[in-house]
Amino acid sequence: MFAPVKSDRANDKATISLDGKPVKRGAPPKLPLNSAVPFSVTLASGLAPSVSADNCSIADGTITALKSQGTCIVRITSTGGRNFKPLVTTQVFRLTT
């Protein structure tokens, strides 16, 4: 059965964890070259996020830097739903050796 979208849907929120610790806004966290670090994204809505990145690889619950310097930008999106608006956000990681 189709349920209509609510007109007052809430904004969704992404919680990003790196090595088991929540990532806070501000200075970009460091991501070492060729080291698979535990990584996860959860949404307040409970929906499954879509995650993509440049200059790093995300697979099997880990993130790995592919370059020794620069940044990795992770893009997180969700489709939204009946109670939550779609989400598009990014997280920047600083690549290090």
pLDDT band at 3 (very low <50, low <70, confident <90, very high): confident
Measured distance CA(28)–CA(76) in Å, rounded? 16
Question: In the structure encoding, which two tokens stand for residue 12, read together?
Answer: 């969704």
Identify any residues that bridge with 16 across adjacent strands, giving them in sequence order.
Answer: 41
pLDDT value at 5 more than 90? no
pTM of the model: 0.89
Q: Which of 33, 9, 12, 10 is nearest to 76 (CA)?
A: 12
Pairing of strands 14-18, 62-65: unpaired
Per-residue pLDDT reduced to its tens digit, 17-65: 999 999 998 889 999 998 999 999 999 999 999 999 999 999 999 999 9
> Given this model, what pLDDT does residue 4 score?
77
Would you list the domain boundaries of the chain? 11-68
Question: Residue 58 has what pLDDT?
Answer: 97
